Structure 1
Amino acid sequence: MGVRLLLAAVAVTLALVGCTPVADPDAPSDAPAAADDTVRLLGQLTVAKAGSMKGYSRARFPHWRDAGKNCDVRDTVLQRDGESIKLSGCNVVGGRWYSEYDKRTFSDPADLDVDHMVPLANAWRSGADKWDDERRGDFANDLTRPQLLAVSASSNRAKGDQDPSEWQPSNRDYWCTYAQSWIAVKSYWRLSVTTAEKATLTDMLDTCPAQKP
């Protein structure tokens, strides 16, 4: 399912199970933009060398936040991105998921990770080190942008904290959406990109289908 259901179904689905989405209520919905718009957004990003990891800890990005009785943002993403979901209370215990990164299908939520499109450590190196922990928590739990995605645990752990110049999904058909999502997140949160990162994102956008005039 991936980002195809990223925004539209969140509010309806969560309302049905009594969960509340965790997101900035004043933020606009930023699904990946069309290729031409994404190129413009990419051009507006600040290009800078990656910052230091000094002071970094995942604890500086508090997650997963509560999203209703006995459920959290991870459950929210698993429910949003899956089909035939089985619940125990608000906890996701079964279903069917398609991992966009590597074209694999799963039925056990334990085989999945919820990936931060822009990894927390990458965000730290590109500007989030200047934020307070509350804002970092908003970033780590962002359900409004295409920042959170249920994928295979193996692909998420292979990605680690690497940017697109260092890691891309093995599923090349997803490169366009991946680049659009990465840029949408960095643009909204005003995070910088490195020269190599920007060049690779430009190449990945070249895989986007040509738009009809």
Structure 2
Amino acid sequence: MIKNFIRGFAALSLSLTPLLAPTPAPAQTAPPSLPTAAPTETTTLADAVHRIPASDERREGYARAAFKHWNAGAKKSDGCNTRAEVLIAEASEEPSVGAGCRITGGEWLSYYDNQEVENARKLAIDHMVPLAEAWDSGASTWSAHRREAYANDLGAPASLVAVTTRTARHKGDRDPAQWLPPLPSAHCRYLSEWVATKLRWDLAADPTELDAIAVFASGQCKRTAVTYTDAS
């Protein structure tokens, strides 16, 4: 009788085996890969100037409104637009930022002319490569979204700079063949940032512009560093 019971229990165990078998673990899927950030390039001005494609420039169809600015900036919830964010980032003495991003106090150094400014209203946020120059150099073929990104570029310190309104107006939309900062000691930095911005946004330069930069690149600014990251 005991033997019959053991045989019956064994048979029952076998019949339940499929029900008691462990459930296979779900297949593991690899986590989605994050987009790779564009590498930062650093070279000399003497080398960088040769990386800019040469092309004749065309102004046809340009309108400042084609470059939407200033937009809500990088921190969309703080009430600060791009202009305000540049002012806050570049202050040599930190300003107070109140409700609605109202900026009071603070101090800035305009490197174009070495002027200290204590009133933010007397500062302009200069596009290193002016909007009209960018249009002439390739931005005319861009989408509205890319032009807006260019006009509000907070991704590279060289793209937007707080300077005295007077020097920004005097510069206008002129390139380095036509205008350089009034402070001679600012020339190498200015040309470095101009070239970095053109390379960052894959903008061309006309032969006269390239020749003007090359004069400095082969002389007093030969060893000036140019650092940029591709914006595309």
Give TM class, smaller chain: 0.7 to 0.9
SS of aligned partner of 1:95: coil
Alignment-derived partner of residue 183 in structure 1: 195
- Do the aligned partners of 1:164 and 1:197 also contact (CA within 8 Å) in 2? yes
Residues 1:39 and 2:46 are matched in the alignment: yes
Partner of 2:61: 55
2: CA distance, partners of 1:143 / 1:95: 20
Amino acid at match of 2:221: C
> Given residue 84 of structure 1, which amino acid in structure 2 is its aligned partner?
E
Q: TM-score, structure 1 length as denominator?
A: 0.79
2:75 matched to 1:70?
Answer: no
Give the Cα separation in 1 of the matches to 2:87 and 2:36: 24
Q: State the match for 1:118 in structure 2.
A: 129
How much has 1:135 moved relative to structure 2?
0.3
1:74, 1:29 → 2: CA distance?
27
Output the TM-score relative to the length of structure 2. 0.73
Instruction: Name which of 87, 96, 114 aligns with 2:97.
Output: 87
Report the CA distance between 1:26 and its aligned residue: 6.7
The 3 A distance-change label for structure 1 pair 210 and 161 is closer
Residues 1:133 and 2:107 are matched in the alignment: no
1:26, 1:151 → 2: CA distance? Answer: 34
4+ residue runs of structure 1 moved beyond 4 angstroms?
Answer: 25-31
The verdict on how the C-alpha distance between 1:28 and 1:93 changes in structure 2, with shifts beyond 3 A counting, is: farther
Query: Given the superposition, is the C-alpha separation of residues 201 and 106 from structure 1 closer, same or farther in structure 2, using an over 3 Å criterion?
Result: same
Amino acid at match of 2:97: L
**What is the match of residue 120 of structure 2?**
109
The answer to whether the Cα contact below 8 Å between 2:134 and 2:203 also exists between their aligned partners in 1 is: yes
Letter in 2 for 1:50: E
Query: Would the alpha carbon gap of residues 26 and 164 (structure 1) be closer, same or farther in structure 2, given more than 3 Å must change?
Result: farther
Mapped to 2, the partners of 1:75 and 1:187 lie a distance apart of 26
| Shift in CA distance, 138/41, structure 1 to aligned 2, threshold 3 Å | same
2:188 partner SS? helix
Cα distance, 1:154 vs structure 2: 0.3
Note the residue ranges of structure 1 that are not aligned, 5 or more in a row: 1-24
Contact 2:126–2:168 under 8 Å retained in 1: yes
2:160 maps to: 148
Secondary structure of the structure 2 residue equivalent to 1:80: helix
The one-letter amino acid paired with 1:76 is E
Range moving further from structure 2, 175-184 or 202-211: 202-211
Deviations 1:96-147 (A, max 9, x none): 0110001111100010000000000000001100001100011111112211
Contact 1:27 / 1:144 at 8 angstroms: preserved in 2?
A: no
Cα deviation 1:54-110 (Å, max 9, x = unaligned): 221111111111033321010010011112312123232321011000111110001
Q: Does 1:196 align with 2:202?
A: no
Task: Give the stretch that moved more between structures: 88-97 or 155-164.
Answer: 88-97
Question: 1:50, CA displacement in angstroms?
Answer: 1.5
Distance, in Å, in 1 between the alignment partners of 2:70 and 2:161 is: 14
Call closer, same or farther: CA 1:139–1:29 in 2, change over 3 Å: farther
Amino acid at match of 1:201: I
* Identity within the alignment, %: 33
Number of equivalenced pairs: 183
Higher Rg of the two aligned structures = 2
- Name the counterpart of 1:7: none
